A and B are shown apart, each in its own frame.
Chain A
Amino acid sequence: MIVGEQKSISEIKGIIAPYKKILIMGCGTCVKTCFAGGEDEVAVLASALRLACKKDGKKIDIEEFTVERQCEDEFIQEGAPAVSRNDGVLSLACGAGVQALARRFVKTPVFPGVNTTFIGVLEKQGVFTEECAGCGDCKLAVFGGICPVTRCAKKLLNGPCGGSQNGKCEINPETDCAWQMIIERLRILGQMNNLRVYIPPKNWRTSLSGGPRKMVREDHMI
C-alpha cells in the first residue's frame, strides 16, 4: 500500500487560511489503512480544524466526504456536488489522489493534507515499513523476496557490505540488514546458488530517475 502521514494541524491551518468553505476529501483505500486519510481521519481532522478556527475567532465551513479511491476518476466523480459547494478541497489521499482531484476539478484549488511517504507493508498493528521503491525493474526472484534496493541503505545488489552487526544495518541499528535477511531466506529456500548470480549495474531509467513513468495497456483501452 501507499503509506502517508497527516500533516500537522498548524500546516493545514496555514494552507486553508484564505478560504471560508473547505471540503475535506478522504480516500478509502491505502491512506485509510495507514490511518492518514480514511473516513475516520477526515472526521477527526474536520472536528479539530473547526475547534481550532473557532478558538481563533475564524468562521469556516468544513464539509466531509470520502470516496473509495481518489486516484480514479470514476470514484472522484461522486464528490463533484460537494466540491462545487466549496471554495477549496483539502485532500487526505496520497499525492496521486491530490493530482487526480486537481485534474478533475480544474477551477477548484486542491491542497494536500497528507505527506505521502512510501510504498510499504503493515509490519504489525500500527507499524508500517517501506518495502518497495517502485524502481520499475523487479529482481525479487533472485533475492528470495527481499528487496535490497529498498531495504539496504546502500542499495547493494551483489552481496552485503560487511558493515552490519548482529543482523542490523550499520547506518541505522534499528534496521535489519537486508542482506542478512536475503541470505537467511535463500538458505531456507535452498537457493544459495542465487548468490553466485552477478547482477549488473542497475539501469535506473525504469525508476523515477528516468522521469515520470506511464504504463499503457492497449487491451484495456477502447
Chain B
Amino acid sequence: MAEHFKPKITLFHCINTFGDAAEIYLTGKDNCELKTVKMPCSSMVKDIFLLRAFEAGADGVIVLVCPEGQCRYIEGNIRAKKRVAWVQNLLDEIGLDGRRLSLTNMAAGDKSTAIQAMDDVLKNLAEMGPNPAV
C-alpha cells in the first residue's frame, strides 16, 4: 500500500436519511477525499452508478439508506440493498473486492452511524489499499 494513501470515497445517500448538516461534518474529515451524491430515495442507486464511481477513481463507495421498514417510498432501501449485494459480487468476480462497497441503514440525522460506516470503510481500505483499476 502507498505510504500516503488518502482514500477517495464516494457517498451515495438518500436525502431523507442524511441531510446537509451531517454531510458537512463528514466532508470535514481530512483523512479521505469525500464525494457525495444525493438521491431523492436510495432506490435510485443503480448498479451502473456504483460501478462508474469506481471507474471514476473511488477507492470505496458507501451507500447510506433509511432503516428497513422506514423508507418513504416503501421499498427503496430494500432495492438498494439488493443492488449493492449484486455489485459486491461483481466486484469480487472482477477481483476488486466487494468490501470496497458497503451499505448502511441509518435513522435520519444519526451522525454516529454515518461516522461509524465511514470509519469501517476506511479501516477496510487501509487493509485493501487503493483501487487497483485506476
Name the segment of A23-31, A39-47, A149-157, A188-196 touching the other chain.
A39-47
B55 at the interface (CB under 8 A from A): yes
Least CB distance from B118 to A in Å reads: 23
Question: Quick one: CB contact mask for B41-59 with A, threshold 8 Å, 1 for yes?
Answer: 0000011100110110000
Q: Which secondary structure dominates where chain B touches chain A?
A: helix
| Residues of chain B lying within 8 A (CB to CB) of residue A203 | none
CB distance from A24 to the nearest CB of B (A): 13
Q: Which residues of A contact B133 (CB under 8 A)?
A: 50-52, 54-55
Determine if A47 and B132 form an interchain contact, defined as CB atoms under 8 angstroms apart: no
Q: Are A8 and B47 interface neighbours, CB within 8 A? A: no
| Main SS at interface, chain A | helix
Contact A52 B48 (CB under 8 A): no
Given A47-B55, A50-B55, verify A10-B93 contact (CB < 8 Å): yes
Contact B46 A9 (CB under 8 A): no
Chain A residues, Cβ within 8 Å of B74? none
What bracket does the count of chain B residues touching chain A fall in?
Answer: 10 to 19
**A-B contacts at CB below 8 angstroms, number:** 41
> For the complex, what is the distance from the CA of A55 to the CA of B95, rounded to whole Å?
8
Please determine whether A40 and B46 come into contact, CB atoms closer than 8 angstroms: yes
State how many residues of chain A have any CB contact under 8 Å with chain B: 14
Q: Is B134 an interface position by the 8 A CB rule?
A: yes
- Nearest CB in chain B to that of A53: its residue: B133
Q: Write out the residue numbers on chain A whose beta carbons fall within 8 Å of the beta carbon of B51.
A: 44, 47-48, 51
Q: Which residues from A are CB-within-8-Å of B46?
A: 40
Indicate if the CB atoms of B96 and A51 lie closer than 8 Å. yes
Taking CB atoms, residues of chain B closer than 8 Å to A52 are: 94-95, 133
B71, CB-defined interface residue at 8 Å = no
Bound: A65/B128 CA distance, A: 34
CB-CB under 8 A from B95, the residues of chain A are 52, 55-56
Is B90 close to A, CB under 8 A?
Answer: yes
Are A9 and B48 CB-contacts (below 8 A) given A51-B55, A54-B133, A55-B132? no
Looking across the interface, which residue of chain A has its beta carbon closest to that of B86?
A: A44
Q: Which residues of B contact A (CB under 8 A)?
A: 46-48, 51-52, 54-55, 90, 93-96, 132-134
A residues touching B (Cβ–Cβ < 8 Å)? 8-10, 40, 43-44, 47-48, 50-52, 54-56
Query: Told that A40-B46, A52-B133 touch, could you supply 19 new A-B pairs with CB distance under 8 A?
Result: A9-B90, A9-B94, A10-B93, A40-B47, A43-B48, A44-B47, A44-B51, A44-B90, A48-B93, A51-B94, A51-B96, A52-B94, A52-B95, A54-B133, A55-B95, A55-B96, A55-B132, A55-B133, A56-B95
